[in-house]
Amino acid sequence: MKVLVIVAHPNIEESIVNRTWLGELKQHPAVTVHELYKEYPDEKIDIEREQRLCEEHDRIVWQFPFYWYSSPPLLKKWQDEVLTHGWAYGSNGNKLHNKELILAVSTGSPKERYQAGGRNNYSMSELLKPFQATSNLIGTKFLPALVFNGTYTANDEEIKESAKAYVDYIFTKDVLH
């Protein structure tokens, strides 16, 4: 299985969790790591290149910190520009059909804040529904998200363990729902 991890973190050098995840991913030659902010500092996305990368892989991972209940802006721009009608959706838009999509998301707040009655009032599953709807539209199989909560209070050991668990997760043949 060929795995493409699209990393969308606008300040990866200062990120503890996403930077650790990135370091672990880069140790695995079966993973293609694609850092959007590094690749496109001017935000001028090479659409054909991005589409080709997606076509060449079986499983696509969008890795990002959770910003204002969504992704960082360059990942949203990537979706707007790369997932085009006639390629990703529409009557002839089938280039991503039967591929798998996973989200790898980090949040600053603890898990308790992402539930009914919690500070954010909604679970991560509910808040990530727009990504699932996108997956449905483009014909990918949406697999359960890997979410790391509590980056503000996590210790080094928890972060290192999460990086190893992340790599194991994206290589699991049959991710359970």
CA angle 14, 15, 16 (to 5 degrees): 115
Looking at residue 8, its pLDDT comes to 98
Question: For the purposes of burial, counting CB atoms within 10 Å of the CB of 174, is it exposed (0-12), middle (13-18) or buried (19 or more)?
Answer: exposed
Which residues, 6 or more positions from 80, have their beta carbon under 8 angstroms from its beta carbon? Answer: none
The pLDDT value recorded for residue 177 is 37
Q: Mean pLDDT across the stretch 99-128?
A: 92
| 106 class by beta-carbon count within 10 Å (0-12 exposed, 13-18 middle, 19+ buried) | buried
Residue 89's SS3 state is strand
Mean pLDDT over residues 125-129, rounded?
96
Q: Find the DSSP H helices in the chain.
A: 17-25, 36-39, 47-55, 73-82, 124-127, 129-138, 156-171
Residue with tokens 């009557």: 91
25-54 tens-digit pLDDT: 999 999 999 999 999 999 999 999 999 999
Q: What is the pLDDT of residue 174?
A: 55
**Region 71-91: what's the mean pLDDT?**
98
pLDDT at 176: 42
Greater model confidence, 4 or 1: 4
Q: Which two tokens stand for residue 105?
A: 């998301």
Mean pLDDT of 169-176: 71
Average pLDDT, the chain: 94
Full-model pTM: 0.94
pLDDT tens across 135-158, in order? 999 999 999 999 999 999 999 999
